[in-house]
């Protein structure tokens, strides 16, 4: 009895010690660091989040979401997450694979026949591909697809697919790595064909609703537009951030529902919503006891898929996710363990999951035109302070 009481007491002390160590006060230095970067003009406003697969450790906001209105940034503000959309889109493909509706190595033309007659630009001529483009090729950016050369802001995913099919591939499928947002847009059309429902509806019903991602959408509703974190571009001549439109959304309004659901870079979301997505991935495809993906599918999505092909420094590709193979190749990756996975966005939002340390790192701010957005000074500053609080660095 005495031994059991002693074990219970030690367990309670350990639990209390862990809770104290992970208390919000431990991360109190993050918000001032972010505010300092805002004061220096590096960002208009920033939201930072640190989590494990089970809970949020830190969430704070600094600066403004809208300079013109002088609106204070809030932790639930909604950001254009740009290419952070890609892993979410690929997760829809993965759900359909688990359903038996498709397979990763199926040809793209199996679902979209317009891609049956693709050509490849090679030595100044258009030649036939040596093999069909597969869904895996598209998800790993090894398909050869480029970007849309002409596009109406409101053309449907079906129309987008037909137009992209008329463009020659940049290289033979599977022989090189080259980033393609348009290719990821086409995966949204594959979802529509394989599932028999609009892409945005499938995403909502099979992923966003089960995860409780209430503020994630391709369009910001009018009642939430006051929570929109506006986008800014760095002006090198004035050394200031100036408000800008979103070129990838073809300069349409963020509320424009006539714009199609663009899976390559079309989503808006919050830090907490993105954390829920990565918590599902770190929990091997489950959330609150409900399975979204098979554990084996999660493992397949987050392993290196691109072999010896050159992608980004120290970062090969999984299925929709970028994989950190060598953290030393980029300063912002230095706090991540090998085999961490995630994605950044064109306007500097970033989200990464570290399975080895059971950590999720999210930084949300909207800045274009100041170097590599994945390696931003704001992301590095956030991670420096947070890693010290976690005891990962001195």
pLDDT in tens, 333-390: 999 999 999 999 999 999 999 999 999 999 999 999 999 999 999 999 999 999 999 9
Return the pLDDT at 150. 78
Indicate the domain borders of the chain: 30-84+216-390, 88-200
Return the pLDDT at 17. 40
Return the pLDDT at 251. 83
* Residue 329 · residue 315 · CB < 8 Å: yes
Q: CA-based Rg of the chain, rounded to a whole angstrom?
A: 22
From residue 390, give the alpha-carbon distance in Å to each of 26, 51, 281, 366, 384. 8, 11, 22, 26, 10
- Residues counted in the chain: 394
- What average pLDDT does the structure give for the chain? 93
Average pLDDT over residues 108-137: 97
* Residue 385 · residue 30 · CB < 8 Å: yes
Average pLDDT over residues 276-281: 98
pLDDT of residue 51 exceeding 60: yes
Query: Tens digits of per-residue pLDDT, 170-201?
Result: 999 999 999 999 999 999 999 999 999 999 99
- Share of the chain residues as helix, strand and coil, in percent rounded to the nearest 5: 40, 20, 45
% of the chain with per-residue pLDDT over 90: 91
Round to whole Å and give the CA distance between 95 and 91.
6
Q: Cβ of 155: how many Cβ atoms within 10 Å?
A: 17
Round to whole Å and give the CA distance between 211 and 345.
21
Span 88-200 CATH architecture: 3-Layer(aba) Sandwich (3.40)
Average pLDDT over residues 281-295: 96
* Residue 228 · residue 65 · CB < 8 Å: yes
E-only strand ranges, 157-271: 232-235, 240-243, 268-269
Look at strands 322-324 and 240-243 and give their pairing. unpaired
Return the pLDDT at 23. 60
Residue 273 is encoded by which pair of tokens?
């919503």
Round to whole Å and give the CA distance between 89 and 19.
35
Average pLDDT over residues 119-131: 96
Round to whole Å and give the CA distance between 345 and 249.
14
Return the pLDDT at 22. 52
pLDDT of residue 269 exceeding 60: yes
Confidence band of 393 (pLDDT split at 50, 70, 90): confident
Which letter does DSSP use for residue 337 in this model? P
pLDDT of residue 18 exceeding 70: no
Return the pLDDT at 27. 97
* Residue 209 CB-density burial (10 A; 0-12 exposed, 13-18 middle, 19+ buried): exposed
Confidence band of 1 (pLDDT split at 50, 70, 90): very low
Residue 260 is encoded by which pair of tokens?
């199609």
Return the pLDDT at 2. 43
Helix (H, G, I), strand (E, B) or coil at 110: helix
Return the pLDDT at 148. 87
* Structure-token match 């919050």, residue found: 270
pLDDT of residue 9 exceeding 70: no
Which element (helix H / strand E) includes 65? strand 56-66
Given the candidates 2.40.50.140, 3.40.50.800, 3.40.640.10, 3.40.710.10, the CATH classification of the domain at 30-84+216-390 is 3.40.710.10
Return the pLDDT at 5. 43
């Amino acid at each position: 009895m005495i031994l059991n009481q002693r074990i219970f007491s030690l367990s309670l002390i350990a639990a209390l010690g862990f809770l104290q160590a992970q208390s919000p006060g431990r991360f109190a230095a993050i918000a001032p660091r972010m505010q300092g970067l805002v004061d220096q003009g590096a960002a208009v406003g920033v939201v930072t989040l640190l989590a494990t697969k089970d809970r949020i450790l830190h969430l704070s906001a600094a600066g403004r979401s809208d300079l013109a209105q002088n609106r204070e940034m809030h932790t639930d503000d909604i950001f254009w997450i740009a290419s952070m959309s890609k892993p979410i889109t690929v997760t829809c493909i993965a759900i359909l694979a688990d359903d038996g509706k498709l397979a990763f190595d199926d040809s793209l033309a199996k679902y979209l026949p317009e891609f049956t007659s693709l050509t490849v630009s090679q030595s100044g001529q258009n030649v036939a591909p040596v093999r069909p483009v597969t869904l895996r090729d598209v998800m790993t950016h090894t398909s050869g697809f480029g970007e849309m050369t002409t596009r109406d802001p409101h053309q449907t995913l079906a129309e987008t697919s037909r137009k992209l099919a008329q463009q020659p591939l940049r290289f033979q499928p599977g022989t090189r790595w080259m980033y393609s947002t348009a290719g990821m847009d086409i995966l949204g059309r594959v979802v529509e064909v394989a599932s028999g429902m609009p892409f945005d509806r499938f995403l909502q019903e099979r992923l966003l609703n089960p995860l409780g991602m209430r503020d994630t959408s391709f369009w910001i509703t009018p009642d939430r537009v006051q929570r929109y974190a506006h986008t800014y571009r760095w002006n090198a001549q004035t050394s200031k951030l100036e408000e800008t439109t979103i070129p990838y959304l073809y300069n349409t309004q963020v509320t424009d529902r006539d714009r199609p659901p663009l899976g390559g870079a079309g989503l808006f979301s919050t830090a907490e919503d993105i954390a829920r997505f990565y918590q599902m991935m770190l929990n091997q495809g489950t959330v609150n006891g409900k399975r979204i993906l098979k554990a084996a599918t999660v493992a397949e999505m987050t392993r290196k898929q691109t072999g010896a092909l050159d992608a980004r420094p120290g970062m090969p590709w999984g299925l929709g996710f970028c994989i950190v193979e060598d953290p030393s190749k980029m300063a912002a990756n230095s706090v991540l363990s090998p085999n961490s996975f995630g994605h950044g966005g064109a306007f500097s939002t970033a989200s990464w999951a570290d399975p080895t340390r059971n950590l999720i790192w999210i930084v949300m701010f909207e800045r274009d035109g100041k170097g590599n957005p994945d390696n931003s000074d704001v992301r590095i500053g956030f991670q420096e302070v947070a890693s010290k609080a976690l005891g990962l660095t001195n």
